[in-house]
Structure 1
Amino acid sequence: MDAARLSPPRRMTVPIDNRWGAGEMSVLDFGDPKRPVDLIFCHANGFNAATYRSILAPLASSLRILAPDLRGHGNSTMPARIEGRRGWQDHRDDLIALLDTLDGPPVVMAGHSMGATSSILATAERPAKVSQVVAFEPVIWKRWMTTAFNLPLVGGLAVHFPLVKTALRRRARFDSREQALKAYRGRGAFKGWSDIMLVDYLSSGLVEEGDGFVLTAAPAWEASNYSTQGHDPWRAMKVSGRPVRILKGETGSTCLVQPAPRGLPLVSVEVVANTTHMLPMLRPDIVRDALFDAAV
C-alpha cells in the first residue's frame, strides 16, 4: 500500500491577520508535500479537520489535500468574536488568506455544511485560485430567506432556531475522552458515525483543561454560527464563474437549492439516497469519489 495513504497528515499553521482578528490557522496536510495542493476541504460547524481524516486519507496516495480548522474550531487560534457578527464573512476571509498562500494551479474547494458554504463564499472572491467547488450539504436557504436574514428585525429571529438552542445547551466539559466518546456514540448528530470518525473528531474536538477536557468549539461559538446567516451564497455562486457540484441528503437537508436552479447554469444538485445532513459520515465512499473526480 502507498506510503502516503499509511502516513498520518502533517499539521501546519498559516498566519491569519484580517479584520476579524489575528492568529494561526491549523491545517492538516495530506499527501505528497512536494506536489502542489489539489484540494482544500473545510469541516462543518462544531467539528474540525481531523473529523474527516478517514475520508481524506485514502485520497492522499493521489492528491495533496489541505484541511483547515476554521476559526473557533480545533487547533486554530484566531479569536472567535461573537459580538456584532452577522454572517460567515470571517470564515470566508480566513479561507481567502489560505488560498492566497498557494502558488500552484487552481484548487478544488470542498467542504461539509458550514465548510461547504464558506468554500462557495471564498471562491467568489478568489475565482482565479479555484477550479470548482464540491459542496456536501451546504447551508443554503431560499433566496428570499437569505435577503430576509439581512434585515435587522428578521435577522435577529435566528437566535430562536432550535439548532441555536441545542448548541447553547451542549455539554462543554468531560472528565475524559472516553467519557465523551460514550456520551456521543450513536446519539443525536453522531448517530451512524463509525467509532474511527468519532475518535478522530474528539482528537481535535477536546482539549485538556485543568482536571478534565473541554470542547475546542465552544457552544456559544457553535450557536453563533447557526444564528448568523447574513452571508449570501446565492450571489457567490452566480459571480464566481466556477462549477459548483452540490450533494445533499435525502432527509433533513440544510440545502434548499433545487436541481437546475434558475440563473445558475454552473450549479448542479444531486440528492443522495438514504442520507441526512451528515452525508459524509454516512456515505464516505460517495464523498471520496466526488472529491477524486473533481481533483483529477
Structure 2
Amino acid sequence: MSRISYQQQNFSVTDGQLSVHLHLLKDASQTLHFLHGNGFAVRTYDALLEGIVAQDNLMLQDAAGHGLSPAGEAFVGWERSSERFQSLLMQQRAEHDWSKVIGLGHSFGGCMTLLMSARQPDLFQKNVLLDPAFYPPEMIEQLMAQAQQGVSRKSLLVRQTERRRTHWQNAQEVVDSLRGRGAFVGWQERCLQDYVSASTHDNATGERELNCPPWLEAALFGSSPRSLWPALESINTPTFVLWGTATHEMFQTSYRLAQTLNPNLHFIEVQGDHCFMMQYPKETAELVRAIIDRGEEGVRALAHSDFIISYGG
C-alpha cells in the first residue's frame, strides 16, 4: 500500500483513453510528471516515487494497456503516444495552474518524456530519465525500413514477449514465478509486489491475469521512435540520464553517442541493470531528488556514494 494518496481517473485521448493518477497539494511549488516502462504499470514504481516526492504535486500516466488504461485495438506508435501524454499533461497543467513541472520517466517513459520536452521546450523545467529507451540510429532506420516495406522480421525480444505467460492461479503465484527471473532479477520484494498489484488483475474466472496484452508490449518493442535523435540533438531543457551499468548494450551505445551531441544532456552511470530503480529504489530516489532540487550540484554531492559509478557532467 502506497504512502501517497492518489485520485485516479480515465481521460479520453485520440483513439482511446488513458488512466491518470494525481496527488495534489494546496501549497505545492512544483509538479512531478512520471511515465513508466513498457509492460510495467505506472504504480509499479510506488516505492521509488515515495522516496522522491516531497511537497510536490505528482501526476502519473499509464500508457494504453497498462494499469487501468484500455489497450485499444493497435499500438498507436511512439510519437502518437507521446502526443497523447502531452495533451493530458497540458490539460491538467491548465486546470491546476501548474507553473513548474519536472519530467521523469523510465525506459519507454523516459523516451516519451524526451520527445515531449523537445516538442515543447517550456513543458518541463528539468528532465530526469531512468535508463530511457534510446534506440541506436541504425536500429531505428532498420525498423522504419521494414515497416515501410511491410516486412516483419521479429527480434528475439519480440518473439519472447509474444509468448509471455498471461495467467496464474493467484497473485502469490505471479510473485513466485517472476521472482529472480528475466527482467525481475534483483528486484526488491516491495517492488515485485507492487508490479503484481498494478500490472495484473483478478479476471472473471478468478485467475490472476496480465493487464498489458503481449501483442501490445511486443508491438512497442518491435517499433521505434523515428524522431528520437533529432530530439536529442535539439533539446534545450536540462536533462539528466541515469543508466544502469549492466543495462542493454544497445542503450549503452546510444548513451555514449548522445553524450557527444548536446551539452544539455548529462549522463550518470549507476549500479544495476535496466530496472535499477527496482533493485535500488532508495538510492535512486535520493539521487533523483538531489537532481530535482540542485541539478549538477546535487549529483556531485552524491558522486562518492557506492550507487554512482561515474558522472560525465
Q: TM-score range by the shorter chain?
A: 0.7 to 0.9
Residue segments in structure 1 that go unaligned for 5+ positions in a row: none
Q: Distance in 1 between the 2:153 and 2:235 partners?
A: 30
- Please tell me the residue identity of whatever aligns with 2:279: L
1:156 Cα deviation (Å)? 6.5
- Which aligned pairs between 1:257-276 and structure 2 lie closer than 5 A? 257-258=255-256, 261-273=259-271, 275-276=272-273
1:259 Cα deviation (Å)? 6.9
- Give TM-score, length-normalised by structure 2: 0.82
- Please tell me the residue identity of whatever aligns with 1:266: N
Q: CA RMSD in A?
A: 2.5
1:222 Cα deviation (Å)? 0.7
The alignment status of 1:238 with 2:233, answered yes or no, reads yes
Q: Distance in 2 between the 1:33 and 1:10 partners?
A: 14
Whether the 8 Å CA contact 1:260–1:268 is kept in 2: the answer is no
Whether the 8 Å CA contact 1:96–1:126 is kept in 2: the answer is no
Partner SS for 1:108: strand
**What is the match of residue 282 of structure 1?**
279
**What is the match of residue 154 of structure 2?**
160
Q: Distance in 2 between the 1:33 and 1:94 partners?
A: 27
Residue segments in structure 2 that go unaligned for 5+ positions in a row: 294-313
Q: Distance in 1 between the 2:193 and 2:23 partners?
A: 19
Superposed CA deviations along residues 184-225 of structure 1, whole A, max 9, x for unmatched, are 111111111122111111112112222212111111111111
**What is the match of residue 140 of structure 1?**
134
- Please tell me the residue identity of whatever aligns with 2:51: P
Moved more, 38-47 or 70-79: 70-79
Superposed CA deviations along residues 28-47 of structure 1, whole A, max 9, x for unmatched, are 33463553652111111000
**What is the match of residue 311 of structure 2?**
none
Q: 1:159 to 1:72 in 2, by over 3 A?
A: farther
Partner SS for 1:47: coil
1:236 Cα deviation (Å)? 1.5
Q: Distance in 1 between the 2:2 and 2:54 partners?
A: 9
% identical equivalent positions? 23
Q: Which runs of 4+ in 1 moved over 6 A?
A: 153-158
Partner SS for 2:132: coil
**What is the match of residue 13 of structure 2?**
17
Superposed CA deviations along residues 57-96 of structure 1, whole A, max 9, x for unmatched, are 13333322222111221111362514xx5x4123201211
Residue-pair matches, total: 285
Q: Distance in 2 between the 1:50 and 1:229 partners?
A: 25
